[in-house]
Structure 1
Amino acid sequence: MTGAHAGGTTGRRPEARQRSRAWRVGTPVVVLLSGALLAVSATNSEGSDLRPGRYTDLAGLVEGEAADYRKVEQRYQDLSDQVEELSATVGDKGVRDARREIAKLRDPAGMTPRTGPGLAITLSDAPAELLDQAVERNKHLDPEDRLNLNRFVVHQQDIQALVNALWSGGATAVTIAGQRVISTTGIRCKGPVVQLQGQPFPQPYVIEAVGDPSELYSSVAADPIVSGYRTDADNPLIQMGWDLEFEDRIEAPAYDGVVDLQYARPLG
């Protein structure tokens, strides 16, 4: 029993001994081969990255950013040079002449306040009850006999005609609802209100003009559109609002709105 135990149980089988020998020999060989590969790579790369593409991309990015910066820097320098050139000409004769011309045009352009005698005219819609009566009356009349209901409301053309008549009468300044009117002032209807430079104003509309009262009145009285409006004001069926006053002192403030011209551009 003892001999059998010693010879069979404690001894290793042949295949186990072969695997142990293979590990003892194979492991050092793998280590040596790995070291050799690392040495060859280090020798071939000479201390640089064997995959330099990532550095090439980064260098390109930096160069691109540097080029953009140089463009911006050049643009800044060009603008700085222009500013210096313009600043150097501020005191020359051309600039002085332009400034004198601007100063002369400020008053006729409406950029300075004006005060003096003139006219104050108020326009307003017809009384609401007369409009209601006209609507009811029109129901029983033939179309050609009906009153035009547009005649019961102040329209932009009524205001524009009056303003133009005042200019023709020599007005040096005109205001609507206290707002200075200049050559580019826009007047248009929008619903029940009139827009002046885009700002809505409800009726009554007070139009004031600085100038010779007699000349202003004569021009207003001669205008055909204003005369038609005054006819409707005297008509007991319509009674459009009209009030005209001769004033010893009219105050017209300076225009303080936008002076840039805005216009449509063709498509295409």
Structure 2
Amino acid sequence: MDPAEKLARRLLGDHLDPGYAQRAAQGRPSTRLDRVWMIAVLLVIGLILGAAAADAGSRAPATEQTRRGLVGSVRGAQQDTDRLGHRAQELGQAVEAARRAALDGDQTGANALAELRRLQIDAGTIEVTGPGMRITVDDKGDSRRPATSTSTVLDGDLQVLVNSLWSAGAEAISVNGIRLQPKSTIRQAGGAILIDNRPVGRPYVVEAIGAAAELHRRFLSTDAYGRFTAFSQLYGTVFTIAQADELRLPAGDPGRPRVATPMTSTSGR
């Protein structure tokens, strides 16, 4: 074996291990100053860790208290909203009774009441009943898929569903008991879906009033039906459709009138 080959074998086989082993065997004399520095460093590290732990411990109760305060505020606001909604409904019924008493005495008043009711139905400001469809959608909750995947029912999916029902001929629609109106919004806030800024939970029950058989037939050819059928087959998303002989949809927010003109009656009232 020539010298070049021996040198190559030694470099590849021995590396620098023998030199490191020899240096480690010799050791390094430890001095008192080294021990002092080591103790000082350990003390500083301990003080830092202790201060951090104490600070985290002191913040935990305050954070929990803040969270509870926010939860209490949200629940209180929801209760106030429900109370005011019931009060508005009572006042609306009183106004409706007064309106009928004032206008139901002649043909002009009766025609005005009929036209007003048609407009109120379109605006979603009065309760309506009638036949229609009830559609239930829900995410199966597959933990293997992230919350943002297409297996989750998102606000955009509900928007497509509602718009498809309108195009299929629905006269009135509600989602989880909230009546949809011309300016209603369906939005996502984190993991929650908001209907007119009111959170709704799963499952999502969409009720639509209209001629049940015709509404169902036309809905089967919409984008929403194709989308949710695919979701059901691919991801196990819950998607059920049922025709109903009678649905009752609540009144929506009456809002504020922007234009009002007095009516004249032929009877002189």
- Normalised to the residue count of structure 1, the TM-score between the two structures is 0.50
- Normalised to the residue count of structure 2, the TM-score between the two structures is 0.50
Larger Rg, first or second structure (1 or 2): 1
